Amino acid sequence: MTANETCSCPDYSRSRRSFLRNAAAVSAGAVATTMFGDAFRQASYGVTNGNVMVVLSLRGGADGLSIVVPYGDPAYYAARPTIAVPPTSLLVRDTMFGLHPGFAPLESMWKAGKFAAVHATGLPQPNRSHFSAIEEIEDADLGSAARTGWINRLIGLDTERSPLEAAAMGSALLPTSMYGPQPTLATESIDDISLAGGEDPEAKRRRRSALTQLWHDGGGPLGVGARSALKTTAKLAPTLAQGYLVANGANYPDGDLGDAMRDTARLVKAQVGAEIVAIDYGGWDMHSHLGTLASTGLPSMNGMVTNLGKALAAFFTDLGALGSRVTVVTLTEFGRRVKENGAHGLDHGWANATLVLGGGVNGGRYYGRWPGLAYDTLVDGDLKVTTDYRSVLSEILTRRLNVSTSRVFPSFTPEAVGVMA
């Protein structure tokens, strides 16, 4: 098979990059934030330990080899004559790896032991189709007839079924990981969690009273949803009414990712019980012109990583001490081919790198078993996966959210990664 045959999306230009994740969500960019599960849990149900997991999905298939660069593997530079990241530019190098320089704002977190990377992570078998790989990653229960997402199953572990739902900021459409029977909430931005109907305070109060009368009882599932909307909006109203000023001089980058991270910090600080927030950061499907460190535009690798580094650093700066309760993990549907293609880009591959930052992280080092980039160690030209992405997620879920993962990832036995304390 040629490279083109294995790739289900021949390079269809920049338009495709932003197009990938549900065609609708991308009119203004490719970021969607989702928070759900026990968000806005009532105080009386307060069984959480206050920890928060943020799942940052790098939609499009981010190239792990540009993000966590195996500069010590000679095959890396041989495979990428025009787009390799130079060794001298790398941050926090060990003998094999270094971080892309776009992560400079996070270098201090790494050195403080709060930021780590796991290499050669991904799905147990190669799946190079965006669509079905996303489905596989987010469903995470292969072979099951039930099309539910792992996050929805996670929420379902809770015996206290709060009628309150979650919010997804950035898009009113749910990501696959959240599909399922448990209530979830998606919205364009935290400020949209409202009952609509204008700004006049008296009109708003009257509207709430009227809706309360209309839906105070019964109504089947719609009634449950309406009461949930009324309750959630009421609970968040004080937070929203205050507006939001970032703390500690945090400097979020302009754009959807920065906005989504700021909304997430705001939600965490409001301490209304949010346990999980999911954010989509799309635009990583770089089949052509991935660029070098001289490329600064957003469609380039350097632009994307730089934006990511800035947004994450601003997020933890803004959170301050609360950051010790928040753990961020990155996911993406697949890695990219080791060898660059004729268009100075990368076709779809297999293994990837996972970043883990924040509370409970055994940081300051690289994890995973490096399979190597030598030709005979590759699988159809791709880096082999040696750590199932579910093992990384399981470690975070177990250590930080105190949940057993056997029902989140059915028939999967996680192995120890070591990335979480």
Partner 1 sequence: MRSTVTSSARSLSRRRLVAGTAASGAALSLPLSSGSAAAAYDAYLPPVRPYDGTPLADTATRHMANRFGYGYTPALGAEMRSAGGPMNWFDQQLSPGAIADSFADGFDGWFPTMFTSAATHAARAENTSGYAYDVVADHGRWSLLRRTYSRRQVHEVMTEFWANHLHVHCGADLTWFWRHDYDALVRRHALGRFDEMLQAAITHPTMLVYLDGDLSQVVRRSTPLGTQVIEKINENLGRELLELHTVGRGAVYTEADVRDSAYLLTGWTVDRDGTWEGSYDPQRHYTGPVRVLGFSADNKLLDGRAVLRDYLNYLARHPATAQRIARKLAVRFVSDTPSYGLVADLARVFQESGTDISATIQALVRHPEFAASAGKKVRTPTEDVAATLRVLGVQIHKPSADQDAGNAIYYQSKNTGQIPFGWEFPDGFPDTAGAWSSGARMMGSFQLHASTAGGYWPKTGVTYRLGAAWLPQRRIRFDALVDHLCRVLHGRGSTSLLLGAACLAVDQSPADIITRDHVLTNYRMPRLIGLLLDAPQHLTR
**For partner 1, what does the binding mask look like between residues 72 and 111, x meaning CB under 8 A?**
----------------------------------------
Instruction: Give residues 32-71 in contact with partner 1 (rule: CB under 8 A).
Output: 42-43
Q: Is 159 in the site for partner 1 (CB under 8 A)?
A: no
How many residues bind partner 1, per CB under 8 A? 90
> Segment contacting partner 1 (CB under 8 A): 118-126, 226-234, 320-328, 412-420?
226-234
User: Could you say which residues in the range 173-192 bind partner 1, by CB under 8 A?
Assistant: 173, 176, 179, 181, 183-188, 192
Asked whether the beta carbons of 22 and 57 are under 8 A apart, the reply is no
Decide if residue 132 touches partner 1 (CB under 8 A). Answer: yes
Q: Which of 104, 142, 230, 322 is close enough to bind partner 1 by CB under 8 A?
A: 230
Part of the chain binding partner 1 (CB under 8 A), chosen from 50-58, 206-214, 244-252, 300-308: 206-214
Q: How far apart are CA 291 and CA 273, in angstroms?
A: 41
The SS3 of residue 311 is: helix
Interface with partner 1 (CB under 8 A), residue from 88, 95, 145, 254: 145
Site for partner 1 contains 168 (CB under 8 A) = yes
> Which residue's entry shows tokens 């307060």?
46
Q: Cα torsion for 175, 181, 43, 218, to the nearest 10°?
A: 120
Binding range to partner 1, per CB under 8 A, among 78-86, 198-206, 248-256, 381-389: 198-206
Residues 235-254 that bind partner 1 (CB under 8 A): 235, 237-238
| Cα 327 to Cα 338: distance, rounded to the nearest angstrom | 29
Name the strand (E) or helix (H) holding 313. Answer: helix 301-319
CA torsion 374-376-379-380 (nearest 10°) is 100
Query: Least distance to partner 1 from the beta carbon of 223, Å?
Result: 8
The conformation of residue 301, written as its DSSP 8-state character, comes to H
Q: Does 16 bind partner 1 (CB under 8 A)?
A: yes
Q: Which of 47, 112, 234, 421 binds partner 1 (CB under 8 A)?
A: 234
Nearest Cα residue to 59 out of 94, 42, 34:
34
Q: Is 411 a binder of partner 1 (CB under 8 A)?
A: no
Pick from 48, 89, 189, 194: which binds partner 1 (CB under 8 A)?
194
Does residue 341 touch partner 1 according to CB under 8 A? no
343 is a contact residue toward partner 1 (CB under 8 A): no
Closest CA to 7 of 60, 50, 51: 60
> Contacting partner 1 (CB under 8 A), which of 167, 250, 270, 338?
167
- Reading the block at residue 255, the tokens are 């754009």
Phi then psi for residue 280, to 5 deg, are -95, 130
- Binding positions for partner 1, 290-309, rule CB under 8 A: none
Q: Closest Cα to residue 211, out of 193, 225, 190, 192?
A: 225
Strand duo 276-281 + 52-57: pairing: parallel
**DSSP state, 297?**
S
203 binds partner 1, rule: CB under 8 A: yes
CB proximity list for 375: less than 8 A, separation 6 or greater:
75
Question: Distance between CA 273 and CA 270 in Å, rounded?
Answer: 8
How near is the Cβ of 114 to partner 1 at its closest, in Å? 33
Q: How far is the CB of 319 from partner 1 (least distance, A)?
A: 24
Rounded to 10 deg, the angle between the 220-241 and 256-270 helix axes is 90
Pick the binder of partner 1 from 14, 289, 325, 365 (CB under 8 A): 14
